[in-house]
Structures are given as C-alpha cells and as structure tokens.
A = this chain, B = another copy of it.
Amino acid sequence: MAVYTEVTDEDLSAFAAQYDLGAVLSCKGIAEGVENSNFLLVTERGPYILTLYEKRTRREDIPFFLGLMEHLSDKGVACPLPVAARDGVALRELCGRPAVIVTFLSGLWPRRIHPQHCAELGAALARLHLAVGDFTMERPNALALAGWQDLFAKSADRADEVAVGLRETLETELAALAANWPVGLPSGVIHADLFPDNVFFRGESLTGLIDFYFACNDFLAYDIAICINAWCFEIDGSFNATKARLLLSSYRKVRPLSRAELDALPWLCRGSAVRFLLTRLYDWLNHPPGAFVRPKDPVEYLRKLRFHQTVRGLGDYFLDDDDQPAGA
C-alpha cells in the first residue's frame, strides 16, 4: 500500500477549494503504488486521484511527469490527465508535499496475465513511443548503467544475504553490460515501469496506462525489455514465449523495430533484469522495520537475469519467423 501522509479534512477542503471540482464527498487512501501517497478523491464532479509526492520523487522532476501525461492525453494515449486549479496550475502543495489531482481512469490491472493482455500492451507501448516523438521535455534515466553501479555499490556488501553468490553475479554482469550495452538505438521518452499494476484493462481491452513517475529518456526498445520481464514470465519463473511473441508482434504493427533493436533485445532484457534486481535488493536490505510496504522479492529478477544470460539471439526466446522484421 502507499499512504505515507495523513491529510486532515481541513487541509483537504482548503486544497480542493482551489479547484472547480465542487465539494469533497470522500477521500480514501489507496492500497496500491509504492512511491507516493494516493487517494481516491470523490468530489461533486466525480472521482479523481489525488497524489502526494513523497521523498523519493524529486520535486524538480514533477513538471516533466505532468507535462508528459498532458502530452500523451493530448495525443490520445489514455492516461491520467493532471487537473489544473482555477489559476491554471496543476502542481500544488498539500501537507508540505507537492500534490496533484489527476483524472480517474477506469479499468482493472490484471492479476493474471493472459496472452491477449500482452498483445494489447505491445500496441499501447508502441503508441506511447510514437506519441512522445514531439515531446520536448527531457529527463535522463537515473537508473541506467551508471545508476546501477551506484546502487550496486550501496548493496554489494550485503548482497549475499539475499542469495549466495549474488554479489559476484552482479559484479560480473555489470561489467558485461558495460561492455555490451547497445549504442545508437532509437531513443525517446519511455515509461520505464510498465508493470501489470500500471496498466488497466476492461476484460482484455486495455483502457489506459498510469504511474509515469519513472518515465525518462532512453532507448525505446529498453521499454519493451522491461515489459518482457514484467509480463512474459510465469510465477514459476518460466518464460512464456507466446506472451512475448504477442507483445512484440503487436508492438511492431504500430511501430516497426529495426534489426539493431531486435538484436539488442537480449542485452536490454539483461539490463532491465539487473535494474529491478538492484532496486529490489536495495529496498530489501534497507526497508525500515515498521514500513507499510512489503518489499518485493529481488530473487524473482535474479532468475530472470539468469534466463536472459543463456540467450544468444532472438531465436533463443523462441520467437518465430513472424517476429523477424518485415524487411529481414
């Protein structure tokens, strides 16, 4: 869950009075999300989401996130739209924290991933990548190669508490990633955290994407690698090639992938596995004992990393000819 800040009714009423949303009828903390405090705010105008940005979100990054959501909404990508107060400003302050009200997005995030969810996801991800083509704000990826090294340095001494040999595995892998990380792939703004709980569906139809608070500039294909790791493995750790195939092929119907992007996928998947392994490892070793949030299991991503380490090319993912680029 994530409600780190208690908002008093007086503070909330004063805050809501800045908007043209009518009176506040209800405000309930949402037991989802990890980084920020989220509330389902019902006003006379209907339901909204109120987000209070907690420490981990840097205040100077917030205009990028809000601008991105506005840009995407404008381009027809379904996502929460920041709501401006009467003075035209969406980013405000509540209880000493940056705060924003965004529109409510209907849909449920899938607890069990069907192949068709992955097909919908691939197309939506490609539409997002096309939509950001003319988005002019930039945010470097703090969790790229250099960031991984920093995170590793903070956790290395205690890594083997989580899995014996993990320190050495990570050390070797980070060196391999540094030596083999692709260069010159098509870049742009990526979501960078498109896990199932950030993608809403109605039945098997995708209704929208949420939580753009890791969005940054990086290789577009790296976003695909993050999704492959987050959506195409079963709970038992096995790789589901059908899901990956649907994700890739539906992506490519909207935004074709170059040979270089396809060839880079195994390294991008390894890098993505390391990125989530490292943040989970850090959180596992450093979560305060009284924290509300149960830290996620780092070992899940160690297993995914090991799988990708065995892959030499796209064929090893059991992706068949249909997944080769049209011009190949």
Chain A positions within 8 Å of B, measured between CB atoms, are 1-3, 6-10, 12-13, 23-32, 40, 42, 47, 104-112, 200-203, 289-290, 292, 294
Contacts and interface: CB of A to CB of B under 8 A. Distances in A.
A110 B10 CA distance: 9
Contacts of A23: 202
Nearest to A117: B9
Question: Which one of A26, A29, A47, A202 has the greatest number of beta carbons of chain B within 10 Å?
Answer: A26
B32 A42 contact: no
A137 to B, nearest CB: 29
B111 A7 contact: yes
20 contacts: A1-B1, A1-B3, A1-B29, A1-B31, A1-B292, A9-B109, A9-B110, A9-B111, A9-B112, A10-B112, A25-B107, A27-B108, A28-B32, A28-B40, A29-B30, A30-B40, A31-B292, A42-B47, A289-B289, A292-B294
A289 B10 CA distance: 34
Given A47-B47, A111-B6, A294-B292, A202 B106 contact: no
In the complex, the 4 A-B pairs of residues with the closest C-beta atoms, listed nearest first: A29-B31, A25-B106, A1-B1, A8-B111
Contacts of A10: 112
Contacts of A111: 6-9
A269 B93 CA distance: 41
A62 to B, nearest CB: 22
B30 A108 contact: no
Contacts of A27: 108
Nearest to A290: B294
A273 B279 CA distance: 44
A40 to B, nearest CB: 6
Given A3-B31, A25-B107, 6 more contacts: A9-B111, A23-B202, A25-B106, A26-B106, A26-B107, A30-B30
Nearest to A108: B9
Contact of A12 (B32, B108, B289): B108
Nearest to A10: B112
A111 B104 CA distance: 25
Contacts of A47: 26, 42, 47
A30 B32 CA distance: 8
A30 B30 CA distance: 5
Contacts of A42: 47, 106
A162 to B, nearest CB: 15
A29 B26 contact: no
A104 B28 CA distance: 12
A197 to B, nearest CB: 11
A205 to B, nearest CB: 12
Given A9-B111, A31-B3, A104 B26 contact: yes
A7 B32 CA distance: 13
Contact of A31 (B24, B30, B106): B30
A25 B107 CA distance: 5
